[in-house]
Structure 1
Amino acid sequence: MSLAGRSVTVKVPATTANLGPGFDTLGLALALYDELTVTVREQPGATVQVTGVGEGEVPTDESNLVVRAIAHAFAAYDQPMPGLDLVAHNVIPHGRGLGSSGAAIVSGIMAAKGLLDGIVDIDALGLLALATEMEGHPDNVAPCLFGGLTIAWVTEDGPQFKKLIVHRGVSPLVLVPQATMSTALARSLQPESVPHADAIFNVSRSTLLIAALIQSPELLLAATEDRLHQNYRAEAMPDTSRLIGLLREQGFPAVVSGAGPSILVLCSDPAQRLAAVELVESESAAPWKSLVLAVDFKGATVVTHPVEAA
């Protein structure tokens, strides 16, 4: 079946992973979206137009991460890769712990799902497997795909997930600095092993965090304590670490967003978000962008457009 003329539009949310103690396991989708339109053309290869974040910086040919994700999905299902025109409008900040690479990968895989509609059926676990193969771990791509709060784990049969609905009292705030952070660098600062007591500490806090996010937001400060990763990475992002310490001293459930350097504050009411923003503005000489966001409950979406008559 020829795909010529097929076109899809994909919308994917930003994500924040770890949420403090849930290292490489917990992720949350946020209502901040990249949008992508992909159209099949007769000529081979791919062209990419980017507006917004990454414009003039990211590749605009087949080496683009979104194009590579589309190609990965087509190859996984033994489908020939068609020529493509991509138009991307990006809003998710790059290199700041908000899942931009995961969003790009999910964009491509969802585009492939839409383009192959009626030819190949890619189910939820198939989507997660494809995304995890490219991203390396499922903590960002799971919430990006499915929305809400996700628990992700890996078995012999591949990555798995459970989606949970977040309590309506949870009010996320993301504080974004001008500086960026490499995920690879952040991971390189992790030790090979951690003390037994720290492992037990994080098990208790991560299980408490599930309860806090879906049922009891008043427990978020205690539930977001962590001993597995944030302290080890603190030297690479001193401003982030200092501000998180100040926020937590004042009762705000603040953590590193993903690999950083952005800060996630899981407030229990909207007024608390405003107070957190005021504290950071008063305590930091460098500018931080405040993103007052809702939790995204839908995850990635794809709309298939009718093929226009020749």
Structure 2
Amino acid sequence: MNLRVKVPASTANLGPGFDALGMALAMYDTVEVSVTDGDTHVEVTGEGAGQVPTDDSHLVVLALRAAADSLGVSLPGVLLRCHNTIPHARGLGSSAAAIVAGVAAGYGLAGKPLDEHALQLAAEFEGHADNAAASLYGGLVLAWTEGSRYRAVRLEPHPDVSPVVLVPDTLSATSVTRGLLPDNIPHTDAAFAAGRCALAVHALTARPDLLLPATEDRLHQDYRESAWPQTMRIVRELRENGVPAMVSGAGPTVFSLPARGVLPAGIDTTGFVARPLPVDLTGVEVQVDGTNSR
């Protein structure tokens, strides 16, 4: 059996929605999976080539084997061909995309449609569900936990939501940036974040004219500025010019939502590449022997 998995990038937090809001973006990694009788072998082209493992420790393989074990699928050996376009360690959900690709491949091998357990498997790898849910479901997602259970719902973004990402060459790591967050925040900031996160859901789905106030954050961005000062410089400059802008996930990419998808002239984007990136509305896609499956 041969599978082909196409999985979108994602952005998380969307300003005040820390670990809760995510959105799928039309930038894709593609993984081809073949079951073999021998050892695991991974071929990687594009982003991460020559830098990621090519054996059983590859993230797609780890997620694939976890899903296969959970679904009762025997997996003696695997040949994996990965073509990556999602930049690594830039806050665009590359690790979540790899995990979702592996989980989706496991479901494809089992001949089963993706379900809530797929999200659970994927989110357990990262400890939060926002990026994974976005790559799984597409569109806008709202994620939460109930005890040890990860949950998410998909929402339809407003058609006028037109993302532009600004991607630097510098890298970031969630493990590092999370360490910059305080253990406690003022009650006024928590209340502010709750209101703005609720407003962000409304703005992203129904009232894009409210996106500027809706994406204002007090929970995480300022605390982590030392990790990516140029990112925050651009975020502030864009917002001062009326453009809803925020840090994408753990950074250092800037995620912006300018009117009609066009950034204003005169913004200093030195060191960053600006790229219009539509919302992906489909989520992960699986082809089994050339036939689409989900």
Matched with 1:35 is 30
User: Of the candidates 189, 209, 231, which is equivalent to residue 180 of structure 2?
Assistant: 189
AA matched with 1:100: S
Aligned to 1:269, the other structure's residue is in SS state: helix
Partner of 1:79: 73
Q: 1:279 to 1:136 in 2, by over 3 A?
A: farther
RMSD between superposed Cα atoms in Å: 1.4
Name the aligned partner's letter for residue 8 of structure 2.
P
Return the match for 1:303 from 282, 287, 292: 287
With over 3 angstroms needed to count, the CA separation of the structure-2 counterparts of 1:306 and 1:41, relative to structure 1, is farther
Residue aligning to 2:43: 49
Residue of structure 2 equivalent to 1:3: none
Structure 1 or 2, whichever has the larger Rg, is 1
Q: Distance in 2 between matches of 1:182 and 1:201?
A: 27
Letter aligned with residue 76 of structure 2? P
Distance (Å, rounded) in 1 between the aligned partners of 2:98 and 2:177: 20
1:122: Cα distance to partner?
5.6
Q: How does 1:7-46 map to 2 (within 5 A)?
A: 7-43=2-38, 45-46=39-40
Equivalence map 1:269-308=2 (5 Å): 269-270=260-261, 273-275=262-264, 278-280=265-267, 283-284=268-269, 286-305=270-289
Taking only the aligned residue pairs, the percentage that are identical comes to 47
Q: How does 1:202-217 map to 2 (within 5 A)?
A: 202-217=193-208
Structure 2 gaps, min length 5: none
Pair 233,306 (structure 1): closer, same or farther in 2 beyond 3 Å: closer
Q: Which residue number corresponds to residue 69 of structure 1?
A: 63
**Aligned equivalents of 1:265, 1:30: Cα separation in 2:** 12
1:104 maps to which residue? 98
Contact 1:16/1:27 (8 A) holds in 2 = yes
One-letter amino acid of the structure 2 residue matched with residue 109 of structure 1:
V
Aligned partner letter, 1:21: P
In 2, the alpha carbon distance for the partners of 1:249 and 1:93 equals 28
Aligned equivalents of 1:122 and 1:163: distance in 2? 17
Cα deviation, residue 213, structure 1: 0.5
Give TM-score, length-normalised by structure 2.
0.96
